[in-house]
Structure 1
Amino acid sequence: MISYQFGQNKFNFRAAAIMIEREHLLIQREADDDFWSLPGGRVELFEDSQSTIHREVREELGWENDVGPLCFYVENFFTFKGVHYHELSTYFQVNLLSPPEFIPEHDFNGIEQEVDVVFRWVAIEDLGSYNLKPSFLMTRLMHPLPLAGAEYQIEQESAPGSTDK
């Protein structure tokens, strides 16, 4: 995976999936976190972002998928558990080839045994009641604008040196 740590500073290259079924978005969080994010994972060296999404959705959920267009390219700066992150992320629209069992607002676990990740389908209109990171996703997914290609976003949640989560 493309992730490097230098003392209290860390760089990640992540790819994430925007999966929408029946006006619901799939979100995830680690069981002990107080925020949600979109499913995905770190890009492997010499792996393109679309392949990362395809692999991660299959590894984490066991779902066959078709990775669609790039929606967002994000530079995200944040502090988490005392480490300052600079994360580059790609966000792709993903279509599920065989939609899974669909129970809105119900937590479920993926198929990876070694991680404690919780998934949930949430109504797009209710995203404002979730602590979704990066935060621009709430606005952009609740009130979508026509995309003329991918959008570039910079998300700076805390200043370097801050101890914010």
Structure 2
Amino acid sequence: MDITFTKDNKRFKYRASALIIENNHILLQNIKDYWAPPGGKVQMLEDSRIALKREIFEELSTDIAIEQSAIFIEQTYHSQEKSFHELGVYYFCHSKSLWDRGTSIIGCENGEDMEYRWFPIIEIEKINLQPAVLKDKLLGEHKIFEHIINHE
């Protein structure tokens, strides 16, 4: 059971996401009109690392190596239909097997094809990355754990 619930037009979710970096490129997932790190919802009684490995395997049929915790983001944001409150745990990860699959990868999420693409980290400012606060983390020199509270 995913740790998520909806009441009226408000939704809470707990996610784990992978900052998969190989050869100064990051793998991102296309979600409508923006890009985001791959990952998914944490399930009840599941820790975030196990959830992340499970989600990546489900979506991309491969294992990842989790290097270290990167960032914990508490955020609220709004779409036309709903308001969201999300807790997101992000990990620096590696996957040589994903890098070897090429610049663009088709994965599967909830039975539908999903596009994943490698982007040069130095060009990350040019894309619509969500959450946007990740850009500073990716362009920074220090890989220290951070806790960010962000309201959009």
Q: What TM-score, normalized by structure 1, do the two folds share? A: 0.84
The residue number in structure 1 matching 2:61 is 62
Structure 2 runs not aligned, ≥5 long: none
Secondary structure of the corresponding residue to residue 103 of structure 1: coil
Residue pair 1:63, 1:100 contacting (<8 A) in 2 also? no
The residue number in structure 1 matching 2:39 is 40
Aligned pairs (5 A) from 1:1-165: 1-30=2-31, 33-96=32-95, 98-104=97-103, 107-112=104-109, 114-147=111-144, 150-157=145-152
Cα displacement (A) at 1:95 = 2.1
- The whole-number CA distance in structure 2 between the counterparts of 1:27 and 1:81 is 24
CA deviation map 1:97-145 (0-9, x unaligned): 64542533xx331144712421000000010111101111112102232
Secondary structure of the corresponding residue to residue 122 of structure 1: strand
Q: Select between 130-139 and 110-119 the one with higher mean Cα deviation.
A: 110-119
Structure 1 runs not aligned, ≥5 long: 158-165
Residue pair 1:10, 1:85 contacting (<8 A) in 2 also? yes
Q: Give the % identical residues.
A: 29
- The whole-number CA distance in structure 1 between the counterparts of 2:125 and 2:45 is 36
| Residue-pair matches, total | 151
- The whole-number CA distance in structure 2 between the counterparts of 1:40 and 1:74 is 14
Cα displacement (A) at 1:65 = 1.7
More strand by share: 2
Residue pair 2:4, 2:13 contacting (<8 A) in 1 also? yes
What letter is aligned with 1:22?
N
Segments ≥4 residues shifted beyond 3 Å = 97-100
